[in-house]
A and B are shown apart, each in its own frame.
Chain A
Amino acid sequence: MKTKDHHPRVRTLLTVLATAGAMLACTALEAGAQESRRRRRGTEEAAPVALTPEQVNQLTKIANDRKLNVDDLLASAKTYMPSGRHDDYVLFSSGGQSGQIFAIGVPSMRLLRSIAVFTPESWQGYGFAGDKDPVLESLKINGKPVNWGDTHHPALSETKGDYDGQFLFIGDKANARLGVIDLRDWETKQIVKNPLTISDHGAAFVTPNTDYVIEGGQYATVLGYGYAPPEEYKKMYRGMVTMWKFDRTAGRIDTANSFALELPPYWQDLADAGKLASDGFFFINSFNSEMAVGGIEKGNPPFEAGASKRDMDYLHIIDWKKAESAFKAGKAKKINDFPVLMLDTLVAEGILHFAPEPKSPHGVDVTPNGQYMVVAGKLDPHVTIYSIEKIKSAIASKTHSGTDEYGVPVLDFDAVMEAQVELGLGPLHTQFDDKGYAYTSLFLDSAVARWTLGGEYDKLNAEQPWKLVQKTPVQYNIGHLCAAEGDTVSPDGNYLISMSKWSVDRFLPTGPLLPQNFQLLDIVQPGTVMPVIYDSPIGVGEPHYCQMIKADKLQTWKVYPEIGWDAHKQRISPDAPKKGDEGVTREGNKVLVKMTAVRSHFFPEHVEVNEGDVVTWRIVAAETAQDATHGFCIGGYNVNLSLEPGEYTEFTFVADHAGTYPFYCTEFCSALHLEMMGYLHVKPKAGAAAPAPEATTETASKK
């Protein structure tokens, strides 16, 4: 009798097919289920507003009680952020003499956080990690601690001329240093000291793909920290610009592949890299082409007068691709062990040209298409616009009006100038939008000028090209200004910040030292509509420049990727103590503490050392929850760390004072935060019963 259900191979095939089908179906089902589970707590979208007469009455009453006019109501509606709603933009602002960077949300203008760069900052645990703190070491200049910076110009890293949200650079004017910040964790990763000059100004600016970070100098000195008396100014003093090579993979400036250009001792000022049409060039303004040496005390004209005599200074036009080739061809000389392309090389290779510019100008800003360079007059009521096409053909045809004292060819002004627009008094800096407008800060007029660009921008607005359209008063003495992505190849045309230097009467008086005033302007409407919609006091330093990036471009980590993360190296550290591996070990007078911190205890809680021991302390925050940050301080030993979730830190100190030192968590972490503490016991030398036996090991008891 033949008995067979059906073919076994068919059965297997059916099973496999059915399994695959079921897997697919269930995967789709599961994805939907997950989403709906997570969405249960999603932010609620606001329903469209339709005010009832009763609500209109309420609003009117509030406005009248608080003495607000309709413009004020509109301004508050444009800037108010309901709880939990995120800002559209992040403003990265220089923090001036605070040596920090401030991150501010736009349009709410709420301070999100500061980023310590050149100044130790205790909340971030920046510079408070024991005796040989790596931050403090990196801030030393000639062996001397220089624990502050005058941060001036932040520069976001760019890809094809657009912000990519990966890195942030900032210059320290006082000490000619650059800071490199990684925007995954918003922390400073590198401090680079310029080997040629003590102070600078034209930093930081990046080339369109962040191949180089440009650091222009300012006050001429003898390069390489040398000495010469002012009588030898023209002979010995020099300006410079440094091209710092940026290694994006390492997230560090590659000093070994960086170089500088020697420049005449004019005071180089702000810089901007060319892009698109002007890619391969960068531009630096200068003043004091008079080469005044001051000496008011000897009856000479002071710098302020001597450096402002001439009607024209020099716009520096630098072909950096040629400079890079010359550097790679070995044409640089070493000064203070740093490669410098000397002036004669720059002239011979056609790397450096000048164009006359009126008069002691401040900012040079390249239009989004790279076609025009806008130079703001400072002591001249115009902005002067140069065309890259005209510059290129003048260079090619050698249309020079002469050379300067150092043999640098000076291009003929009329051959390279495209237009001049009279804006008002004290034009300083220019930014751009998407409607063919440029915005220039007017320091003396205390105003922001909106004016039209020409060329391909002409069709984007109703006005004639190269014309002033509107001047909005700001309070007061505006320095830099910043429009949303307003110095990139694609400005957003959304918001504009006036970085007003004086606030005078804008806020409650805060003693004789008053905050700066960051003012938000709405630049969405064309023409003459350009109101100030928010005033924000900055009471931490005097910021200079800032940049505004679309918030969704930032790929910020919520917590460190893994527990045991070395934030300096941006990788997990093999030295990070693991749970169950904690303890205190000793070798001679060297003590190693391995500690974990997790809500709400340190492990171990007692650490015993002998007076004079060299203590290396490794501590890791074994946390993964967002915002579950711990602090760690040892009072009296100048230690305070910020241990963000997953972060690992090592510090070393000499326990040179006997006693009992409580250590505790300095960042409120949990309901039992106050209990998150322990004791460092430093046993006095005299009290030590016997000399410490060599290479013994004592491990804290483990559970």
Chain B
Amino acid sequence: MSGFLSTLIGPRVPVEELRAHRVRYLTPTLLFMAARVLLLVSIFFPYWHMELEAPQYPDGLYLTAYVNHLTEDVKEIDGLNHYIGMRPLGEAAALERAVAIWAIIAMFLLVEVAAFIHSKWAVLLAIPAITFPIAFLVDLYYWMRTFGLNLDPEAPLSSSVKPFVPAVLGEGGIGQFKTYADLGTGYWLAVGAALLTVVGFYFHRRAYRPLYLRMKQAGAAS
């Protein structure tokens, strides 16, 4: 093994060492695995919900975002939004939704690879998974803001409804509608994945850093 490569992927664990300290080395591996599972499962669950309340909709209107699609009353909400000149929701974050599944699979694989890398560089591979929940929210806010602030000035109600930034989380309102937005199961799974990854790295460092330092010392000595 070349010196550069071994610096990059870190030292391998001798079998005797592994047998002697099984828990120490298994912990980060299992944590990463759990993180990957949560991330994968999150694809199938909603990341974000919005409920819209108005007198003439006694059952409410609902909007649910998965990483790759929007469901529930999208058509009706689009229909209402045209009055204020908001673009159809299907036009928002089209690229993000198109690549979301592949991106999550990529993050899944990167964390998988990270588990094999026993140097500090492993963190680099896990950065997407760790920052993903924040990136999701930032992106959501960006699109809500963009849509809310860029209303068609020719729309029927453009004289009475001014551009606004919809509430991405919590309570908001527009016209006779009250909106409540919150995060869904999928999002919390992604957060769980990020946290598990971070915790995994704590144990990763505790397990492999001594080995890594020993390898470095050995390298320096030889």
Contact = CB atoms under 8 A, between A and B. Distances in A.
A600 B84 CA distance: 12
The winner among A11, A37, A672, A675 for most chain B CB atoms within 10 A is: A37
The winner among A22, A84, A600 for most chain B CB atoms within 10 A is: A22
Nearest to B160: A671
B13 A3 contact: yes
B14 interface: yes
B26 interface: yes
Interface in A631-681: 671-672, 675
A30 B40 CA distance: 16
B83 A41 contact: no
B64 to A, nearest CB: 9
Contacts of B37: 15, 18-19, 22
Interface string B25-50: 11001000110111011001110010
Contacts of A18: 33-34, 37
Given A600-B156, A675-B156, A19 B40 contact: yes
Contacts of B15: 2-4
B49 A37 contact: yes
Interface in A404-462: none
A283 to B, nearest CB: 47
Nearest to B40: A19
B41 A41 contact: no
A29 B76 CA distance: 27
A41 B60 contact: yes
B76 A624 contact: yes
B185 interface: yes
Nearest to A599: B79
B79 to A, nearest CB: 6
A18 B35 CA distance: 10
A672 B18 contact: no
Nearest to B51: A37
B184 interface: yes
A1 interface: yes
A111 B79 CA distance: 32
A26 B45 contact: yes
Contacts of B73: 624-625
B156 A6 contact: no
B146 to A, nearest CB: 21
Interface in A668-703: 671-672, 675
A570 to B, nearest CB: 22
Given A2-B14, A30-B46, A41-B60, A23 B41 contact: yes
A5 to B, nearest CB: 6
A675 B189 CA distance: 47
Contacts of B53: 41
Interface in B57-95: 57-60, 62, 73, 75-76, 79, 83
A14 B33 contact: yes
Contacts of B115: 5
A29 B13 contact: no
Contacts of B40: 19
Interface string B162-179: 000000000000000000
B21 interface: no
A30 B185 contact: yes
A624 B78 CA distance: 12
Nearest to B36: A15
Interface in B1-27: 12-15, 18, 25-26
Interface residues of B, number: 37
Contact of B76 (A5, A30, A625): A625
B33 A4 contact: no
Interface residues of A, number: 31
A29 B186 CA distance: 11
Nearest to B42: A26
B156 A33 contact: no
Given A18-B37, A19-B40, A672 B185 contact: no
A671 B115 CA distance: 59
A615 interface: no
A25 to B, nearest CB: 9
A223 interface: no
A598 interface: yes
Chain B interface helix/strand/loop/mixed: helix
Contacts of B75: 624
A1 B14 contact: yes
B42 to A, nearest CB: 8
Given A3-B13, A11-B33, A26 B185 contact: yes
A2 B16 CA distance: 9
Nearest to B175: A671
Interface in A605-624: 623-624
A417 to B, nearest CB: 57
B184 A33 contact: yes
B185 to A, nearest CB: 5
A671 B155 CA distance: 14
Interface string A4-40: 1110000100110011001100100110010001101
A19 B33 CA distance: 10
Nearest to B180: A40
Nearest to A42: B59
A4 B18 contact: yes
B118 to A, nearest CB: 10
Given A598-B79, A600-B156, A30 B45 contact: yes
Contacts of B26: 5-6
B55 to A, nearest CB: 11
A41 B59 contact: yes
Contacts of A26: 41, 44-45, 185, 189
B38 to A, nearest CB: 6
Nearest to A25: B41
A3 B15 CA distance: 6
A40 B180 CA distance: 11
Contact of A3 (B12, B33, B189): B12
Contacts of B79: 598-599, 623, 625
A282 B166 CA distance: 67
A644 to B, nearest CB: 15
Given A30-B185, A41-B58, A41-B60, A22 B38 contact: yes
Contacts of B36: 15
Contacts of B57: 625
Contacts of A675: 156
A537 to B, nearest CB: 29
Nearest to B11: A3
Nearest to A558: B59
Contacts of B60: 38, 40-41
A625 B59 CA distance: 11
A435 B51 CA distance: 49
Nearest to B38: A22
Interface string A40-61: 1100000000000000000000
Interface of A: 1-6, 11, 14-15, 18-19, 22-23, 26, 29-30, 33, 37-38, 40-41, 84, 598-600, 623-625, 671-672, 675
Given A3-B15, A623-B79, 18 more contacts: A5-B13, A5-B18, A15-B36, A18-B33, A18-B34, A23-B41, A23-B44, A26-B44, A26-B185, A29-B185, A30-B185, A37-B51, A38-B60, A41-B59, A84-B58, A599-B79, A624-B75, A672-B156
25 contacts: A2-B15, A3-B12, A4-B15, A4-B18, A5-B25, A5-B115, A6-B29, A11-B29, A18-B34, A22-B37, A22-B41, A23-B41, A26-B44, A26-B45, A29-B185, A30-B45, A33-B184, A38-B59, A40-B51, A40-B60, A41-B58, A84-B58, A598-B79, A599-B79, A600-B156
The 3 closest A-B pairs by CB, nearest first: A3-B12, A2-B15, A18-B37
